[in-house]
Amino acid sequence: MRKRLIALATALAFACLFDPNVAFASAVPVTIEIGADGAPIGTSGEGWTYADGKLTLGAGHAFTFTGHALNVSSENLLRNKGVIEDGTFVDASQTSGFAVRNEAGGVIRGGAFTASIGNAGIIAGGTFNSDPNDPTKSYVSTSSGTITGGTFDCMVMGMRSGAIEDGTFNESVNIFKGFAINGGTFNGEVNSGNSSNLGGSICGGTFNGRMQNQGTIEDGVFHGTVQNASNNAGAGAIAGGTFNGYVNNYDGAVISSGTFNDGGENNNVTNDGTIRGGEFNIGVDNGGAIEGQGVFNAYVQNGYMRFDPDENRSCTIKGGTFNSDEIDNFGTIEGGTFSGKILSRGVIAGGAFSSTSSVTSNDEDTTTGGGTISGGTFDGTVTNGDPDPDYNNAVLTGGTFNGSVTNHGTIAGGTFLSDVTNRGVIEGGIFENVISDQGGTVTSCAYPLRANLTGLSIAAVPSAMPKNTAAGFPAEPSAALTAAFEKDGADANLYQLSANEGYLLPDAIDVRCGAADGQTLALAAGTDYTYDPATGAIAIKKSVVTGPLLLAAQGAAAPTPPVPPTPDTPAPAPEPETPAPKPESKPDAPKPLPSTTDSKQAPANAAALAATGDAPLPQIALGIALLAGGVTLTCAIAMQITRKKRSNRS
């Protein structure tokens, strides 16, 4: 039960905090009558006292003033800790200082005030005016207080931890660090910060007048001009919001998010600070830096025609997505993605240019220098220079070009993977296809060398020789091999052909050069190139490399070496020699078998054994044959003796 009571009390406290009607619904209503002299009739009443020209309103009471207007000033001060429901309050003294102090816990819910008010409580309603004849002008200053409603035809100031939640503001509003605007309608000028103090936070509201920001804008709708500036205490930041008017982002200030739309006045964004994000549906003139993840759907100008080249180089695009139909570049592009038409009189050092993009780089409208492309990836068309010789002082020194390129200026570097038409000068770069010469000059460049090899590897000299295939060298040749072209050059492109394991170098190779008609022309061995079959050295003259090269060679299979014997496999025995035939002779009578008691005694057939040599297998075979013969002879003799004995018995 206790927990429920605590929760209920907490909820009630929050309700009271954000809705003064709830907080003071139980306040005791009190009416104070004001006389013709502008003072209360009487010196005190329930919840209030009036002494020495100062009126004090106590808490727990809701006051309504009737009769005449109450005269208030810094000397005749009104202090409120209760609720002011209605009344007229005028400061006719034309002195400076607060005439009304709405203390912490005090609420103003109604009334007409032509007096300066110091608000530390809540202003939930009422009208607040400024006497046009008062040189000091009335204003409302909220310090640690809150404005949740009311109509303000005077200046309003906010500072410390206070906030504006709602209300209508027809004159200027000035807020400083710690103060927040979360809602309201602002028809006058709003200043967040000044030249020496940081501004507050703007998190909501509708702004129809001019906005000067040296704080943070996180949300809101802005129909007037917004100036995002910096000062010696820091810089303004736009982190969100919808902007339908002009936006000036000054040096040091940052735009990281927000939506920027066409408000019907041909408005745009002028950036001398940094843009890191946001969606831009209006034109952007960049004199600072564009980086990060911004999306640009309208015209963009990077740099200015009136700037000198050095000043323009500091105008940079380093990131973002540019869906703009057209971009003028006088500064430097280092990154970002682009899909429209880019006319560059500055520097392109990076970025990704899609297949729908077209890039023209020249020095049109510049007094010194020219357009330069030194990096980037270009999938669309690129025109370097201009047919008019007065505007073709353009130089291309780097980048990867997947789309077609037309050159009127100078190409000194880059990788060109599609067609190139040359009407200017080419003195560098790597070209996938043969250059289409239409009145230009090519003094030097490079083409790819592709090798169609079998059992062979190739490398450029003097690079380190690669290992063979068995050790990990790729079977296919590297696609990075190039061959240099030098007009009238006497030097050669040097390569080293190596045989992979199981192959030998060939006796000859075939080298061909691509031609403009798509055919290939065979280069002459000994004249256009040399090849040493003993070492694999190849030299191709640079002056003949007028297109991509194709080198074809086939290694010869190396002979298979004999398999050496292993310890477990004896060498094969040699064939026994055939002894010369002996003259026929009658067989002798059987002789007794030799004695076997002496193992060292030579056998009777020593001559036959000697004839077989010392190889062990013939000796064993001969011994077995002699033994078989002896056994047969012995058996024959024994049978003869047995027959004789039987005949004697009979």
| pLDDT tens per residue across span 599-612 | 333 333 333 333 33
pLDDT for 597 beyond 70: no
Whole-number pLDDT of residue 59? 97
Q: What is the pLDDT of residues 93-131, one digit of tens each?
A: 878 889 999 999 999 999 999 999 999 999 999 999 987
Q: What is the pLDDT of residues 423-468, one digit of tens each?
A: 999 999 999 999 999 999 999 999 999 999 999 999 999 743 333 3
Q: Which of 65-74, 347-356, 384-393, 631-640 has the lowest mean pLDDT?
A: 631-640
Residues pairing with 119 in the sheet: 102, 142
Share of the chain above pLDDT 90, in %: 69
Evaluate if residue 389 carries a pLDDT over 50: yes
What pLDDT is recorded for position 25? 60
- pLDDT of amino acid 573: 59
**CATH class (in words) of the domain with range 451-466+480-557:** mainly beta
pTM comes to 0.77
Beta carbons within 8 Å of 119's beta carbon, 6+ residues apart: 102, 108, 140, 141, 142, 143, 145, 147, 162
Q: Is 589 a residue whose pLDDT tops 80?
A: no
Other C-beta atoms closer than 10 Å to the C-beta of 583 total: 4
Q: pLDDT band at 344, cuts 50/70/90?
A: very high
- Predicted pLDDT at 128: 98
Q: Are 43 and 9 in contact (CB under 8 A)?
A: no
pLDDT of residue 93: 84
Question: What separation in angstroms does the CA of 309 have from each of 305, 329, 615?
Answer: 9, 12, 99
Segment of 244-253, 309-318, 454-463 carrying the highest mean pLDDT: 244-253
Q: What is the pLDDT of residue 547?
A: 97
pLDDT tens digits, 13-69:
444 444 545 445 689 999 999 999 999 999 999 999 999 999 999 999 999 999 999
Q: Which two tokens stand for residue 436?
A: 């289409």
pLDDT of residue 649 exceeding 50, the answer is: no
Least confident of 475-484, 493-502, 632-641: 632-641
Burial class (CB within 10 angstroms; exposed 0-12, middle 13-18, buried 19+) of 195: exposed
pLDDT of residue 17: 45
Rounded-to-integer distance, Cα 576 and Cα 321, Å? 92
- Three-state SS for 68-94 is CCEECCCCCCEEECCEEEECEEECCCC
Question: For residues 44 and 63, what is the distance between their CA atoms, to the nearest angstrom?
Answer: 13
Band (572; pLDDT cuts 50, 70, 90): low
Q: How confident is the model at residue 580 (pLDDT cuts 50, 70, 90)?
A: low
- Bridge partner list, 316: 289, 332
The tens digit of pLDDT for each residue in 345-382 reads 999 999 999 999 999 998 765 545 568 999 999 999 99
pLDDT attached to residue 12: 45
3-state SS track over 101-146: EECCCCEECCCEEECCEEECCEECCCEECCCCCCCCCCEEEEECCE
pLDDT value at position 477? Answer: 39
Average pLDDT over residues 329-354: 96
